[in-house]
Amino acid sequence: MQCLCMSMRHALGICRYVSVPCLPCSSVSLQQNHILHPRYSSTTVKRSTTSYSYVIAGAGSAGCVLANRLSENVSDSVLLLEAGPKDMQLSSTRLSWKIHMPAALTYNLCNDKFNWFYHTLPQAGMDERVMYWPRGRVWGGSSSLNAMVYIRGHGEDYNRWQRKGVEGWDYDHCLPYFRKAQTHELGADQYRGGDGPLHVSRGKTDHPLHHAFIEAGQQAGYPFTDDMNGFQQEGFGWMDMTIHKGKRWSTASAYLRPALSRPNLTAEVGCMVTRILFDGTRARGVEFQQNGQTKKVFADKEVILSGGAINSPQLLLLSGVGNADELHKLGIPVTQHLPGVGSNLQDHLELYVQHQCTQPITLYKAQKPFHMLKIGLEWLLKFTGYGATAHLESGGFIRSHPGVSHPDIQFHFLPSQVIDHGRVKSKIEAFQVHVGPMRSMSVGWIKLKSKDPHVHPIIQPNYLSTDTDVWEFRESVKLTREIFAQKAFDPFRGPEVLPGPAVQSDAEIDAFVRQKADSAYHPSCTCKMGEASDVMAVVDSELRVHGLEGLRVVDASVMPCIVSGNLNAPTIMIAEKAADVIKGLPSLHDPQVPVYQPDSLQTQR
């Protein structure tokens, strides 16, 4: 057993982004075959077969939302299946902190205990590097592993979905669900929510390097924005975070745990869903493995896949839903030919631009054993201090060139140095910005390697496979250097560490990008929404799988194209909106909410 000091040393390695003893299980054991019968609101009865109104595969960012919202109807019973464990909620002992301490994110992000620990194929556009893709395998999914950055994307992202034929997913129909999900510590307004389950806050460190970054952005000619999730995304300002009272506020904390006391919600862990059970073209339930046993459970109304952009297409393919030719090669009987399953894979790449800091004010000292112990004890006792933040408290969005409709480059600033996904400690006093394009043109795919569900699928993002993507990254490096050269950083700016002074020409910058860019952990779009006439669409605008009945997909995989920002907030919004669709409620709608557009759109960055 690790001592507290050793544990804190691991926990406070500040990792790149990206979203405690076990609570006694309030769910009903599947082996007891107890459920809430749909005809009764408060009576638990035995059934000869185990069935529920809804079976949800995946207790991640979307699945926890659905479990809460669908179980609000007392006449419906809901089963939530998660392959991983519980998220180890804090208790009075306050010693199980590995997920809930915001600064401890590297502890779980960089090992496989709560993590699927995926890797891609070697990337031709990135010097044949194999890229690491962490994804959550725990209650809360990736919202229990991420860096807790809450970014919705730009309103135009959702209008673009509608233009691609996805009716009812424009900004006017999505904004109300962002608000419904959220309680912002600054209070409700036209853009922020005030009474939702998801608590959102701003950073509390007031670090001088964050102030310098925001000021430098303005000195470089970009605007200040007081809310990049509100009227004006464009510019530099303070970022929102899913942190509440000093603790990570995942969807497990926000949605699942408050609903566990409901008699019509059953949440099971350690359940690896291996296939969907069909009766013809209708989904009737799922088969899963738990504690070495293979079990089946049935859905009276719907099976809902919420496994994320990798697991949901993988499960469809294992169940015979996908490209018929490829399924035949693996000996999988075809249920529905849908060639779009696993296609259209999109992700955000990013890289670090790092400078030494001339003053001893970065997080370098915080990663020394004595300081880590001190920080950890403050958090354990009061949930305050440097342990209560992931330190990505400022950021920005800009347009790479004139005429771009909305920002296509994102910045996350960190008053520290990150090495190898945070698995190696900082070597020097340094600060950095994570920067990358938001709407790259490179598109990849996910395919089965084996019909064994325990074998990870083949992941091919095709990073940097277009000249445009290479140019955008080159511009990202040049524009970041321009920002760091501003007067606001004069008191702090030491020599550039990455890319380094030797990297100056376009060819040298391109080589640096190929060597150092990495995933921002935002896989999406592999079961995209679209009309039935779109041969690559997997689900319709109500997230029903084309050609099948009783089956929906609700997670980041349904995005028609990736949004301009982090994906946790949009995934939660998708699940909130889907819950209303599933319950047959009319969509919330907030028409003509204003969105900022600069006067200089056609003439300036």
Q: Which class for 481: exposed (0-12), middle (13-18), buried (19 or more C-beta within 10 A)?
A: middle
Q: Do you find a cis peptide bond into 499, omega within 30 degrees of 0?
A: yes
As a whole number of angstroms, the distance between CA 82 and CA 84 comes to 6
**By three-state DSSP, how is residue 176 classified?**
helix
SS (H, E, C) 240-302: EECEECCEECCHHHHHHHHHCCCCCEEEECCCEEEEEEEECCEEEEEEEEECCEEEEEEEEEE
Sign of CA dihedral 529, 534, 538, 542: positive
How far apart are the two ends of the chain, measured CA to CA in Å? Answer: 54
**By three-state DSSP, how is residue 569 classified?**
helix
Answer for the pair 15, 147: CB distance below 8 angstroms, yes or no. Answer: yes
| 365 closest CA partner among 307, 295, 428 | 428
SS (H, E, C) 362-425: CCCHHHCHHHHHHHHHHHHHHCCHHHHCCCCCEEEEECCCCCCCCCCEEEEEECCCCEHHHCEC
Name the catalytic one among 100, 522, 546, 589.
Answer: 522
As a whole number of angstroms, the distance between CA 601 and CA 573 comes to 29
Task: Locate 136 and state its tokens.
Answer: 């959550």
Between the alpha carbon of residue 248 and those of residues 62, 105, 181, 382, the distances in Å are 17, 9, 16, 14
The alpha carbon of 184 is separated from its chain's Cα centroid by a whole number of angstroms, namely: 19
- Whether 211 is catalytic: no
Task: Locate 115 and state its tokens.
Answer: 């993590």
Amino acid type, 557: S
Task: Locate 321 and state its tokens.
Answer: 């839903």
As a whole number of angstroms, the distance between CA 310 and CA 523 comes to 8
Answer for the pair 556, 529: CB distance below 8 angstroms, yes or no. Answer: no
Q: Which class for 40: exposed (0-12), middle (13-18), buried (19 or more C-beta within 10 A)?
A: middle
As a whole number of angstroms, the distance between CA 513 and CA 137 comes to 30
As a whole number of angstroms, the distance between CA 565 and CA 443 comes to 17
Q: In what helix (H) or strand (E) does residue 180 lie, and over which residues does it extend?
A: helix 171-181
Annotated catalytic residues are 522
